[in-house]
């Protein structure tokens, strides 16, 4: 028996430490030896039947354990075996119990996706009067500023007409600043005072072009993004929804326009004029035009701009020269404001949002004052409401134009917040 045990041990490879998996083989090789030793000790106290049951139990257990050890021993590497088991079981458990990570930041930031596409095509436009110098800097005074966007890669830019319109007896230069910070001198190519649209061209090629959408299929409640340069802070982003898709110009007191406007609650501040109003596909559906009060702003539908661009291209091709409409004589004196007639609906909305305004039944809202203009020098501010001129009630912008056609100084009665003020201004002669 000792010789048999010695032969078995010699078959094992010589190692510094005996693997635990090799021990059951010894038990399997000598089950009878162990049982005989056990039976000698137990025969004096146990009967033969219990000895047989114990022998069978040890035999079956040894065979079962030895079979498992034999399988593991035949693997090339025991560590790889357990790794295979881990890789097969753990991922399945994790897939059931641990949900996949959801990247909501990149999935739901649709406004940021729109801005990433459209912002490179938005520009800042600035008009400087070379005849007037700033007292402190000695540089030309900025008479107007606004926004625009590139519609052709060869440098054609679309904006509002009131952004690039120069006042009489002034010598202005148009400057355009791109998103990358580079500035170029621009030339006003075409102007349409009726639709308040204009084009400016700069000497720059291969520019990113804004995609033009359509305004005929807009729906109230659609998300929109307004991009512009309020207070000369270019590429400022605001968002909101479309409040109305066809607000008639007569409802806004603009009886000489006969146009439809897009009403939105996206914040459009002074300097946003001419910038794009885009949908979630990154398409321009309107040109930011004016702000009445908080939550009420208007944009010119892009379909008007498409017709304007088409007609401007046709005129350029037939005439072979730029439009000279800016050189036509001006019949009215210059005041230096952009105004909006207050209708009953607008007045009700202003009372709802403003709260502190007194009961106003008529007037025009001053929503932009040109820096250095007579209106600016007399103290008129954006947001003022002109109710009387020279003692006469003002019910629309037409009444203001009639007064400007006459000579002499003008006395203004205005409402600023909850206070009534009296101002006096001397408009510039044409």
User: 117: exposed, middle or buried (C-beta count within 10 Å: 0-12, 13-18, 19+)?
Assistant: middle
Cβ-contact 194, 160 below 8 angstroms = no
On whether the CB atoms of residues 301 and 261 are closer than 8 A, the answer is yes
Mark whether 196 is an active-site residue. yes
Partners of 185 in beta bridges: 175
The reply to whether 215 belongs to the active site is no
In angstroms, the CA 67 to CA 394 distance is: 105
Do the Cβ atoms of 151 and 208 come closer than 8 Å?
no
Q: Which of 190, 196, 384, 399 is catalytic?
A: 196
Q: Which candidate, 30, 102, 92, places its Cα nearest to that of 62?
A: 30
Catalytic site includes residue 273: yes
Strands 283-293 and 211-212: parallel
Please state, in angstroms and rounded to a whole number, the distance separating the CA atoms of residues 396 and 315. 33
N residues, the chain: 430
- Whole-number Å distance between alpha carbons of 134 and 176: 20
What Rg, from alpha-carbon coordinates, does the chain have? 43
Selecting among 162, 239, 362, 384, the annotated active-site residue is: 162
Rounded Cα distance, 156 and 322, in Å: 13
Helix (H, G, I), strand (E, B) or coil at 248: strand
Name the percent of the chain in helix, strand, coil, to the closest 5: 35, 30, 35
Distance CA 38, CA 46 (A): 11
DSSP class per residue in 189-207: EEEETTTTEEEEEES--SP
**Contact (Cβ atoms closer than 8 angstroms) between residue 391 and residue 398:** no
E strands along 102-181, which residues?
Answer: 122-133, 140-152, 156-160, 172-177
Task: Tell me which of 144, 273, 297, 373 is the catalytic residue.
Answer: 273
Cβ distance 200 to 159 under 8 Å? yes
CB 175 within 8 A of CB 156: no
Dihedral of alpha carbons 382, 384, 386, 389, sign? negative
Please enumerate in sequence order all residues whose Cβ is within 8 A of that of 298, keeping only pairs 6 or more positions apart, or say none.
Answer: 247, 252, 261, 262, 263, 264, 268, 289, 290, 291, 292
CA-to-CA distance for 327 and 335, rounded, in angstroms?
18
Q: Count Cβ atoms below 10 Å from residue 63 Cβ, excluding itself.
A: 12
Give catalytic residue positions. Answer: 162, 196, 273
């Amino acid at each position: 028996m000792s010789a048999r045990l010695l032969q078995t041990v010699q078959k094992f490879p010589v190692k510094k430490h005996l693997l635990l998996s090799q021990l059951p083989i010894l038990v399997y090789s000598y089950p009878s030896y162990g049982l005989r030793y056990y039976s000698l000790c137990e025969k004096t106290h146990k009967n033969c039947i219990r000895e047989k049951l114990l022998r069978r139990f040890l035999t079956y257990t040894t065979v079962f354990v030895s079979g498992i050890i034999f399988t593991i021993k035949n693997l090339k590497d025991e560590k790889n075996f357990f790794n295979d088991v881990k890789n097969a079981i753990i991922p399945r458990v994790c897939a059931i119990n641990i949900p996949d990570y959801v990247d909501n930041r990149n999935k739901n930031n649709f406004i940021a996706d729109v801005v990433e596409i459209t912002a490179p095509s938005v520009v800042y436009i600035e008009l400087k009067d070379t005849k007037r110098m700033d007292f402190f800097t000695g540089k030309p005074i900025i008479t107007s500023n606004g926004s625009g966007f590139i519609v052709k890669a060869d440098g054609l830019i679309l904006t509002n007409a009131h952004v690039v319109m120069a006042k009489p007896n002034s010598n202005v230069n148009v400057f355009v600043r791109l998103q990358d910070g580079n500035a170029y001198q621009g030339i006003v190519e075409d102007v349409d005072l009726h639709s308040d649209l204009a084009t400016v061209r700069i000497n720059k090629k291969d520019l990113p072009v804004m995609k033009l959408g359509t305004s005929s299929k807009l729906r109230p409640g659609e998300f929109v993004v307004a991009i512009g340069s309020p207070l000369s802070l270019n590429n400022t982003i605001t968002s909101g929804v479309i409040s109305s898709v066809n607000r008639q110009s007569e409802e806004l007191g603009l009886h000489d326009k006969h146009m439809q406007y897009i009403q939105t609650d996206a914040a459009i501040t002074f300097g946003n004029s001419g910038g794009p109003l885009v949908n979630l596909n990154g398409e321009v559906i309107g040109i930011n035009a004016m702000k009445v009060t908080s939550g009420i702003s208007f944009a010119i539908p892009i379909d008007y701009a498409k017709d304007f661009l088409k007609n401007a291209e046709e005129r350029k091709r037939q005439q072979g020269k730029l439009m000279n409409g800016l050189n036509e004589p001006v019949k009215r004196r210059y005041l230096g404001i952009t105004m909006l007639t207050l209708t009953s609906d607008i007045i009700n909305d202003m009372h709802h949002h403003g709260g502190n305004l007194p009961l106003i039944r008529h007037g025009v809202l001053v929503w932009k004052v040109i820096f250095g203009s007579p209106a600016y020098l007399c103290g008129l501010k954006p947001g003022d409401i002109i109710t009387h001129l020279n003692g006469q009630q003002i019910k629309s912008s037409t009444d203001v134009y009639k007064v400007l056609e006459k000579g002499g100084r003008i006395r203004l009665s205005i409402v600023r917040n909850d206070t009534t003020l009296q101002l006096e201004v001397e408009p510039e002669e044409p």
